[in-house]
Structure 1
Amino acid sequence: MHPYCKRSILLVIPAIMLVAMFMGSCKKNADLSYVNTFLTNGTWTLASLQVATYNGDTLKKTDTLNLNCNERQQFIFDKSGMCTYENFYCIKQTESANWTITDRDSVIIRTNIALLDDINGVKIRPFAYTQVVNLGQNSLVLQTVKRDTLRLRPLLIRRRVSRYGFLH
């Protein structure tokens, strides 16, 4: 084989690898753009809220909340990076804040929105770090997980998993 051909092959292989790497990074941005399009396409109305409490790996209880709410609970995401939630926990309120989305390990929404809690009467940040479990043209499922330690020896972690189901 001619020395020029060997050198050309050695240059072509890294070039192909670079092109493949750039194409892979563009694909992720396109996927995230697709998620943004669905998310910012209208008003999401809360259809269900289910809270599961785990002690370690054991499911202790599951609650379905807000069954008798007469207020429409709505979550709105706009393309400019602002979100609005109305009537959280069936309390007449409208709050707005910034939001961002990331897709590092899974699709995560982060927002600093502070909403009035029905239990303590204080503002909480329920969607500070929220996983998008399902997102379609007509449905959105968001999940938040809160962890705390019940005891240190043996270590027992309690998790409260909240799943918010929204419809268009």
Structure 2
Amino acid sequence: MKNKALFPLLAVLIITSFFINSCKKEDKSNIPNLLTTGVWQLASLQVDHYIGDSRISTDTLNADCDTSQLFTFNKDYTCTYTNYSCKPQPTAKGTWALTNNKLYLSSDITVQDTTAVGKSQPFLEVQIINLGQFSLAFNTGDISAYYSSAQKRTIRRYGFIRQKTTSN
């Protein structure tokens, strides 16, 4: 008789645990917080040229630049970039977003650059390589995961360091 009384109790316990575990979990990612804490200053810019996955050459850009290039991400998903391409210019404004897996970032910032067109959106698709408390590195360009062994690719690697602010 005692065993029969335990079956309804066991059923209630199983149903309760099912409902507790099926509740929607909050996204506990720290990546948006790391991006929006402080101002990121460009420290290095490398351009790698590949055929397939073989690197052919590497160029270092802005090595002699004495103008600070600053990338700022705001909590309201807006962002700014100052002095793109080591060229004093008005601050470019746009928005930013992360993919669900937090491995890619996109920003619709339009900047003036040194190309014949004169304007570009260099951060439209960005692969995050490293994001720490004080450093941020990402790749742009031909960052497709699938490419042929004879395909020519150009990848730009931006390296940023977080600047200290009075609120940090």
TM interval, short-chain normalised: 0.7 to 0.9
Aligned pair partner of 1:98 in 89, 92, 95: 95
1:30 alignment partner AA: K
Structure 1 residues 4 and 43, CA, compared in 2 at 3 Å: closer, same or farther?
same
State percent identity of aligned pairs. Answer: 32
More strand by share: 1
TM-score normalised over the length of structure 2: 0.78
**Structure 2 Cα separation of the partners of residues 159 and 7 of structure 1:** 64
Cα RMSD (Å): 2.6
Q: Is the 8 A contact 2:44 2:159 kept in 1?
A: yes
Where do residues 79-118 of structure 1 align in structure 2 (5 Å cutoff)?
A: 79-93=75-89, 94-104=91-101, 106-118=102-114
Instruction: Tell me the number of residue pairs that the alignment of Structure 1 and Structure 2 aligns.
Output: 157
Compare CA radii of gyration and give the structure with the larger one: 2
Aligned pair partner of 1:142 in 133, 138, 152: 138
Give structure 1 stretches of 5+ with no counterpart.
149-153
Structure 1 residues 120 and 132, CA, compared in 2 at 3 Å: closer, same or farther?
same
Structure 1 residues 122 and 35, CA, compared in 2 at 3 Å: closer, same or farther?
same
Higher relative contact order (CA 8 A, sep 6+): 2
Q: State the Cα deviation string for residues 27-47 of structure 1 (Å, max 9, x = none).
A: xx111xx11111111111000
Q: Is the 8 A contact 2:139 2:157 kept in 1?
A: yes
TM-score normalised over the length of structure 1: 0.78
Residue 156 (1) aligns with residue 150 (2) = yes
Give structure 2 stretches of 5+ with no counterpart.
164-168
